[in-house]
Chain A
Amino acid sequence: NAGVTQTPKFQVLKTGQSMTLQCAQDMNHEYMSWYRQDPGMGLRLIHYSVGAGITDQGEVPNGYNVSRSTTEDFPLRLLSAAPSQTSVYFCASRADRAGTGELFFGEGSRLTVL
């Protein structure tokens, strides 16, 4: 198992550009989520999904869109990047949707918006 795979690992954008951060897991996990981590800070939840076709907002959803068309993939879209979105983004998955298990995290995607 590869676990949770995030691409790209590094990305530089200009203000106003759009892009998609990819997240895939091969563990057949129902729950997937996206977090962002700013320098010296803890993680903040952006969006999450408890199964294919189901998504919901987390703590800081503005400026981000998600979709969950398959169990394996949970892409995060930035429609018009802003410097405030410069951060490290982590995707995480969990086996069950009810929250009884541990979260598995990807290695992160480091985004810089100029």
Chain B
Amino acid sequence: DAKTTQPTSMDCAEGRAANLPCNHSTISGNEYVYWYRQIHSQGPQYIIHGLKNNETNEMASLIITEDRKSSTLILPHATLRDTAVYYCIVRVKAAGNKLTFGGGTRVLVKP
């Protein structure tokens, strides 16, 4: 699976959009971009995933650049409950078995 690079931490104002970048310059054509988050010490929670096209669900939007070498997770209206560590993961969808979590980005939403 391709390696990902994320900022270690970032702050965001409550009510504003939070834009979380992820670099995956070695991504290959059949690798998907997944985002999970971990609130405090809870188990990670799935947010969204995509291959080429931008994706949106009730939690967030995922913007993938045309060359697919980077992506951005957007939380449209950050709340205090969005304070968490956010993990960007790249993997082959059919690989099945391994989902490697790196260090992630620690996001602090401030009032």
Interface residue ranges, A against B (CB under 8 Å): 4, 31, 33, 35, 41-45, 48, 50, 56, 58-59, 88, 90, 92, 97-100, 102-108
Contacts and interface: CB of A to CB of B under 8 A. Distances in A.
Interface in B84-111: 87, 91-104
A105 B44 contact: yes
A105 B92 CA distance: 20
B33 to A, nearest CB: 13
A99 B96 CA distance: 4
Contact of B42 (A43, A44, A98, A108): A108
27 contacts: A4-B43, A31-B97, A35-B101, A41-B103, A42-B101, A45-B100, A48-B97, A50-B96, A56-B97, A58-B97, A59-B98, A88-B41, A90-B43, A90-B44, A99-B95, A99-B96, A100-B93, A100-B94, A102-B46, A103-B36, A103-B44, A103-B99, A104-B46, A105-B45, A107-B42, A108-B41, A108-B42
Contact of B101 (A43, A48, A88, A108): A43
Interface residues of B, number: 23
B44 A43 contact: yes
A99 B93 contact: yes
Nearest to A49: B97
Interface of B: 36, 41-46, 49, 87, 91-104
Given A59-B98, A98-B94, 20 more contacts: A31-B96, A31-B97, A42-B101, A42-B102, A42-B103, A43-B101, A58-B97, A58-B98, A90-B44, A98-B93, A98-B96, A99-B96, A99-B97, A99-B99, A100-B93, A100-B94, A103-B36, A104-B46, A105-B42, A107-B43
A74 B42 CA distance: 20
A50 B97 contact: yes
Contacts of A92: 43-44
Given A103-B44, A106-B43, A45 B98 contact: yes
